[in-house]
Chain A
Amino acid sequence: MDLVSQMQRQFVDYKNSLFREGFLDDQFKQLLQLQDESNPGFVVEVVSLFFQDSEKLLNNLATALQQQIVDYKQVDAYVHQFKGSSSSIGALKVKNECVAFRNYCDEKNRERCEKCLEQLKREYIAVKNKLGTLFQMERHILLRGGSIPLE
């Protein structure tokens, strides 16, 4: 097997593992299907928007939970936004973490909310790294003149 074929095989295996392990769900597959020759950078563009948005939200959440008197409506609004964006790109574990987080917002439980935020950060960083690796593998295949396999 030549190098490009090997890289393509590894790319497909890695991508499949992300679905199998629950980092990504069907919505990410929808994104992949939306991408076409007229817009080859679509998935990277949308995922980049997600990263920017997420980092802002995580900072906002940290600030909101550090206040003397926590505004749980505001915290919930941020988590709701995060749930929406993670759902839109198919970041399943992040979305599920947001669902759990919102329950603790309802309970106005500061300690649990802080723990949720830490867990949310971890899940976000994990999927960010996974997607970064996936896109890097894609770039390396393209650099060597290969095409990106769909399955």
Chain B
Amino acid sequence: MELDMDASSLSNGMGVENELHVLAVDDSLIDRRLVEKLLKNSSFKVTTAENGLRALEFLGLGEDQKNNLKTTGSKVNLIITDYCMPGMTGYDLLKKIKESNALKEVPVVIVSSENIPTRINKCLEEGAQQFMLKPLKQSDVKKLRCQLMT
């Protein structure tokens, strides 16, 4: 019998080096590049997606994947998504993730350039781990890492 010890078979989603994997979703290329650098500087493994649909596909929740019995999604430890995106907003994406049995335990952080209390409350009520203001700073990401490790 062969033991397949590759990263995806580890149930807690951590790679061989104990790396935390983040999926960052944002329609702005500049912001994707920034968040990727911030996360990498804090030793996260990063995948970026330019919209909610791509994010769902990566997570294995894409339209054509739903009928697939095998889970084809990649394991992530954290999802960071922009709120304001055309088509599927960060809020819509949050809802879809929380509706999924496979993914509802994954913490989702919503980021936005606008500090709107009703928006913040809506996201927190839907199960967002946190709401953060853009642009993110290195200290914000360090805090996130600490929170994930506990």
Per DSSP, chain A at the interface is helix
**CB neighbors of A among B37-91 (8 A):** 37-38, 41, 84
A56 to B: closest C-beta gap in Å: 11
Residues of A within 8 A of B113 (CB): 83-84, 87
A151 to B: closest C-beta gap in Å: 18
**CB neighbors of A among B105-150 (8 A):** 113, 134-135, 137-138
Tell me if B33 counts as interface (CB < 8 A to partner A).
Answer: yes
Give Cα A50–Cα B28 distance, bound, in whole angstroms: 10
> Are A88 and B28 neighbours in the complex by a CB distance under 8 Å?
yes
- A-B interface contact total, Cβ < 8 Å: 45
What is the total number of residues of chain A having a CB less than 8 Å from a CB of chain B? 21
Among B30, B134, B138, point to the contact of A50 (Cβ < 8 A): B30
Could you jot down 21 A-B contacts, CB within 8 Å? Answer: A31-B34, A33-B138, A34-B34, A34-B41, A36-B41, A39-B37, A46-B30, A49-B30, A53-B30, A81-B28, A84-B28, A84-B31, A84-B113, A85-B28, A85-B30, A87-B134, A88-B28, A88-B31, A88-B34, A88-B134, A88-B135
